Structure 1
Amino acid sequence: MPTVEKVARTDAGLASELRLSVMRLRRRLANERHPDNELSLNQMAVLGALYRAGDLTIGELAGHERVQPPSMTRTVNCLEGDGYVARRPHETDGRQVLVTLTDSGRATVLADRARRDAWLARRLTDLSPEDRAVLRAAAPILERLAQKD
């Protein structure tokens, strides 16, 4: 039976280790949500996309989150009903509607991020400066991996 160290030397082994580590970290970060935040992770992802990218159409949001437009429409309807987003007419295409964050949606995103960032920042202080430097270098690489189709 190969050791973990030997398995990680292959691309398949590295893929397996990264998958497991990233999924565990994602689960830990998901658990750090504010207890009063009743929004689903999918709903929070939509708010986050709007915060980062600005106003988007349903189709753009669906593409960003890799879901079908009818699913995104349901998510946006719920978020709109709860006051987290609003719809407004597209400036140049009368057939399109843009989804925009409300003040409540923006505050929810910022509070959620602050809480999770604080948890992760505390965890990072337990690491050596060398380990933090490795993570600093790896972060943009992981982001590129996440963006590839």
Structure 2
Amino acid sequence: MPDLSHGDDAAAVNSLRSAVMRLSRRLKHQRVDESLSPTEMSVLGTLVNCGTATPGELARKEHVQPPSMTRIVALLEAKGLVRLEPHPEDRRQKVVTSTEQAEVMLKESRRKRNTWLAELADGLDEDEWAKLRAAAPVLEKLAHL
């Protein structure tokens, strides 16, 4: 674990936080559908990646309260981006699944964001790009802790 009382570790953590926040804000503007919030896009991404989930599972994965997720799912359903179906084992619950429309939109959004990041990375030299490639799995791990 980084020692935040140590100058180098504290500076690295501060720099990482700042860079991730700036990149995140800029990536949020690279959307295909401006009517969806970043959280709604994230929910769609989670569903496309994992297949199906209950609203409670989505709330845990997205770090939001269950009532908030219920509202998000209802909004996405009204837009035709998710389907709600009875849970196969627990009829009191529903299972949320992304629609083909959501998958197409998410694919286009990812393409747009990847293109933007690739264009941004054109400003890096080969050594910087190699370091970024090496850091990507570590950043991915941090995102899922």
Q: Count the aligned residue pairs.
A: 140
> 1:27 offset after TM fit, Å?
1.0
> 1:37 offset after TM fit, Å?
3.0
Which whole-Å CA distance do the structure 1 matches of 2:9 and 2:143 have between them?
A: 17
Which whole-Å CA distance do the structure 2 matches of 1:52 and 1:125 have between them?
A: 28
4+ long deviations beyond 6 Å: none
Q: Identify the match of residue 84 of structure 1 among 71, 78, 81.
A: 81
> 1:12 offset after TM fit, Å?
1.2
Alignment map for 1:1-149 (pairs within 5 Å): 10-34=8-32, 36-148=33-145
Percent of aligned pairs with the same amino acid: 46
Which whole-Å CA distance do the structure 2 matches of 1:46 and 1:146 have between them?
A: 15
* Letter paired with 1:28: R
Secondary structure, in 3 states, of the residue corresponding to 1:110?
helix
Structure 2: stretches of 5+ with no match in the other structure: 1-5
More displaced stretch, 58-67 vs 104-113: 104-113
Which whole-Å CA distance do the structure 1 matches of 2:9 and 2:73 have between them?
A: 39
Structure 1: stretches of 5+ with no match in the other structure: 1-7
* Letter paired with 1:40: S
Spell out, residue by residue over 1:64-102, the C-alpha distance to the aligned partner (whole angstroms, 9 max, x if none).
000111100000000001101011122222222110001
CA RMSD of aligned residues (A): 1.5
Secondary structure, in 3 states, of the residue corresponding to 1:87?
strand
